[in-house]
Structure 1
C-alpha cells in the first residue's frame, strides 16, 4: 500500500482528494493537515510514502514544509497548487519536491503521479515544465556550464533530454527502442554521475545548462 498524507487549507479540496484516493485499492490515506506546520509534524509521526502538499497555506506554506520534510527524510513530497507561478514551482523543486502538479490535473493523472513518486520517480506537469524552461532561458535562474554534462555518454545525454521533456521511462524506452530496464539503468547512471537526487533535479540541470531550449519541450 502507498501511504499518503494530504495537506490543504481548504476542507473542500481535502474532501475531493479523500474521495479520489479512497477509491484506489493500493493507496491508503493515513492523515490530513490544513497547514505546513501540521504537515511536518504528521510526516514525522506517520512517515507516509508521499505527502500531497498544497503551496499557499497559513502558519507555514508548502514550500517551507516541503523543505523540512525532505531534510528529515521522512517522506517524498508531491506539490499541488492552483497557481502555476514560477517562483512557487522553482522553490518547491529546489527544496526537494519530487513532483509538481496543478489542481486541475485529472484524477487519474494525480493517482498515477502519486504512484510514480512513491516508486522513486518524479513528475512535473507539462505546463509547469514549459514555464520552468521559459524562466531559465530568460535569465530567471543562473546559467550552469554545459561542460558539467561531459561526464555523460552520448546515449545518457539523449536520455537526459527526454527526461527534461517530461517523458516517463516507458515513453523513453519506446522512443529509443530500448527496454524499460535499460532506461532505468541509464537514468540511475545519469543521476549518479551528476550527483543529483532525482529526476526533478535532472530536469532543472538540463534547463540551467541549456541542454534543452524553448521549442524543444
Structure 2
C-alpha cells in the first residue's frame, strides 16, 4: 500500500480546500466561494496528480520517484499547519524563523 501524501493527510485533518500557490486569482476566488458555500475544492493540478497516483498513470517516460525521505522538520511544518497554526505560531513552536517555516511550507 502506498504511503499517504501530505494532501491526503491534510484532507483527513479537516481542510476544505487545496489550491497550489501557482493558482490564478480567479481560481482562488472560486475555491473560497466553494468553501464558503459548504463545499470542498481540490485544484485541478492536484486532482490530476492524485488520479495519476491512484491509477498508476504516467504522462511521460521520466523515472518515477518513490520512497522520498523527509526530515522531521519537513514533516513538522505541514503537521502544524494542518493543526491550524499560522506560520508565525509554527516558527515559535519549532524555535525557528518564519522564513524557515515559509521555506518548508512553500518549496
TM-score, normalization: structure 1? Answer: 0.23
More strand per residue: 1 or 2?
Answer: 1
Q: Which has the higher contact order (CA 8 A, sep 6+)?
A: 2
